[in-house]
Amino acid sequence: MPMLSEMEWQALRLSLDVATRSVLFSLPLAIAVAWLLARGRFAGRALFDALVHLPLVLPPVAVGYLLLLLFGSRGPIGGWLQEQFGIQLVFSRAGAALATAVMSFPLMVRAIRISLEHIDPGLEQAARTLGAGPLDRFRSVTLPLMLPGILAGAVTAFAASLGEFGAVITFVSNIPGETRTLPLALYTALQMPGSEAVAARLAALSFGLGLAGLVLAELLARRVRALLGP
C-alpha cells in the first residue's frame, strides 16, 4: 500500500481515538444493560430491549438528528452539560465518540448478553453458599465468565465505531482533525475531483481494519473460551 498522506494519517488516528473513547465509555453501561436484559425481572423489559436495539434499525442520520436534539447546545442534556461542566459535544471529538457509542451499543450488549445467558446460575448459587455477597459474586464469578462476551462485544463495537458515518456527520459535522474520521474522510475524498487514489486508499484501510477487528474478536473469544472451559 502506498504511504498515507498526513491528512489520511490524521483521519486514521482520529478514528482510532474516537472508537477507543466510544468503547471505554459504553462498555460499563453495556455490561449493566446486558445484565438487566438477561437477569432482570421488571415491567417494560420488552420495551427497554427494543429501545436498546433501536440504533440497529433506525437510519443513522435519524440517530444523529436525535442526538442533536438532546445533546445540542440548546438541547436538554447538551445545554446542561455546557452550563455545568463546560462540555460541548456538538462539533467535537467527544460528540463523535458519543454518536459511535450509541450506534454500536446494541452490538456490544448483544454479545455480552449472550455470554451471560450461557452462565449457569447454579455457579452463583454455589458462590452464595461459600459466603460471597451479591457484588462479590458478580466480580468473582459472573464477570470472569462473561469475559469472552465482553471482549467480543468490545472488539466488534470498536470495529463498527471506526466505520460509523451517518450519525457522526449529522451530529458533529465533518471537521478535519476534530470529527473527520475515516469514513468521513473517504466521503470527502469522493466529493473532490481527482482524489480517487485517496478514496481508494481510505476504503482499503477501512476494509482492513474492519476485517482485522472481526477476526481478532473471534480469536479472543475462542482463546478465552478455551481458558474457561465448558
Partner 1 sequence: MLEVSVRHRLGQFLLDAAFNAPAPALVALFGVSGSGKTSLIQAVAGLRRPDEGRIALDGEALFDAASGIDIPAERRRLGYVFQDARLFPHLDVRGNLIYGLRRSRTPTRIGFDDVVALLGLGPLLARRPRGLSGGERQRVALGRALLAQPRMLLLDEPLAALDAPRREEVLPYLERLRDHWQLPMLYVSHQFDEVLRLATHLVLMEQGSVLAAGSLAEMALHPALGRLAGEAAVGAVLDSAVGAVDARTGLASIPAGSGALQLPAGALSPGTPVRLQVLARDVILATEPPRGLSVRNVLEGRVVAVEAGLAGSRRVTVDIGGLRLLAQVTDLAASELGLAPGRPVWVLVKAVSLRAASTGPGLPAA
Query: Which residues contact partner 1 by CB under 8 A?
Result: 120, 122-123, 125-133, 136, 140-141, 144-145, 227-230
d(CA 45, CA 128): 27
What minimum distance in Å lies between the beta carbon of 107 and partner 1? 25
What minimum distance in Å lies between the beta carbon of 41 and partner 1? 15
Residues in Cβ contact with 207 at an 8 Å cutoff, skipping those fewer than 6 apart: none
Residues in Cβ contact with 120 at an 8 Å cutoff, skipping those fewer than 6 apart: none
Q: Which is nearer to partner 1, 137 or 180 (CB)?
A: 137
What minimum distance in Å lies between the beta carbon of 3 and partner 1? 45
d(CA 39, CA 165): 33
Q: Which is nearer to partner 1, 126 or 175 (CB)?
A: 126
User: Alpha carbon of 38 to those of 56, 133, 208: distances in Å?
Assistant: 19, 20, 34
Cell of residue 192, nine digits: 473532490
Cell of residue 169, nine digits: 456527520
Q: Which is nearer to partner 1, 131 or 193 (CB)?
A: 131
Q: Which is nearer to partner 1, 194 or 229 (CB)?
A: 229
SS3 assignment for 184-201: HHHHHHHHCCCCHHHHHH
What minimum distance in Å lies between the beta carbon of 120 and partner 1? 7
Q: Which is nearer to partner 1, 84 or 129 (CB)?
A: 129
What minimum distance in Å lies between the beta carbon of 122 and partner 1? 5
